[in-house]
Chain A
């Protein structure tokens, strides 16, 4: 068998980021930019006011939306919970084959711990199909794997050197060779809870066939390594323990997290796997699942990952995520009428607010922070002209209440995750948002200049002083 890892780009190019922008999108963006520029030249104050007013209204909408998600997650328990007794009663002989895909690239340090954590999984060994996806030119990792005595359920699949050099491309090759009824992706440094696969099987059995994906919660095993990992953990806790459950409770489109997504294999193949050209292929796949009429649910189990503890790697990782979100946004909005028809109006709005809203905030934040700083430090009267009174009042609302609400949500997320000592760190999140904005602007630049570049996150830094 000769699998096509680029099947989506070949067969459904309109759903792939192989062409990052369609001509119609470029024309629309360029037209808006030119119009705004002309307005700016003709009436600069009006242009400035228009920008500020639109941005402020968007801020209000996005902040309200995020608060709604948090409220929903607190009010409704939307996660699928499998009690231990149900797991104990499971008949192991009736369990299906479960495929595990583990893409490895420059991960020689993580191989040993990876094999150990996968061996701890509570699932019949003969029903595990674990594929280590190794890149052809990564001799270091291949040597490290060769040096480990792999149990029988492990096998290695070599991914040939070809463009694009992305994780989804490797996953697509793994998907082609997967033998299981269910399939899950883990990263090299992942430590899933031992009963996670059994929980996934029980949850799939409990749900209807329309549920094709279960998203596990992700969190970190090194949250206290340094300040960066503390902030990262607080952010992840708010995302996976508040926002995503909120989305699930609304039966909304869920942008998948990078690992620990459990799939039914057949529907995943029907979707042509991951988009090899999208550097946040998980987010894109979550939207495509929903566009197909299937759903994703949250599963109450956690996979422990390594929080990036190095500022440089963190920025690169975040750049890649944001670039992928931008790719996904441009891919799915290129045919808006079709998007609404397939996702429905409600889920389209969810998608636009969640992904578009997040990107908008990250890109616009530095502009408004600069305005705020200028106003506080220099008392620039010219800024007052940009904010007509109603816009000023709305802006003040966003600044003082919106930001506080997000900080508080981060603290609540830490408490929910039982990171009690991190609650106080969640209060200091705003500087962390600044770095996220840097990554977002970097992502925008890369989207234009180098859309398929995969900035690799380095793992195995937990023992190093950073």
Chain B
């Protein structure tokens, strides 16, 4: 600070002490705000680690580490099969991506390349309204419409509660996210690239496919990873629509009920704490929470790496 406040001839321009004190107070406040968010993240991890370690220690003491790889996730019976909830989480997120990627990218392409300014003025707010629907409303919609009228009509063997209907609802939830971020990425592609392509004789569809999309790929990938991690962390929809609230067997059947990591935590936190047998059910909640935290961390790191790799500098 002192360097910048001295002119070449050595005159001190930094002002009187009161002014400097005010500046440092303001600087301190903003620094505190920044450090607070780091501190909160650390506090979350520390609070999870304590009880998660108690959970693992409890299993080790009871000589029961095998409970982490067993027939299903039934925490109130002492069965803590981690693959069950991880598989269900990934399955539902994949179904959500299958729904959201075509819809989201299609909407983004239309909005950025094809829509007239007036159409854009109407459609973009509607897309944002979709983003504003509370997840509990989508969960209820999945339960009362997608489950009985869509999934059960197409696949007669499915039940009202299924990972497929929850996945479709999560897909609808994350579509606006994919659309908004992808559209921003595509609009950021310089117009000169498009004009060069038209100049070479390409039509609009070819330009979009061969010039615009590849140029925007890093932003689009960022949007997909963002949407995927949002889908991984979605709780209310899967809690209501995927069923299996008390626990589920390890299954790959999308047409049946399943319990994701988030739904498992929600069910443990809001349900009864009566257990049959030993009582590590509540601590398993912290273990699953920590697992979820690390999954999201991994995805964030991955997204940073991929985005940096593909970034095109114009």
**Co-complex (A, B):** no
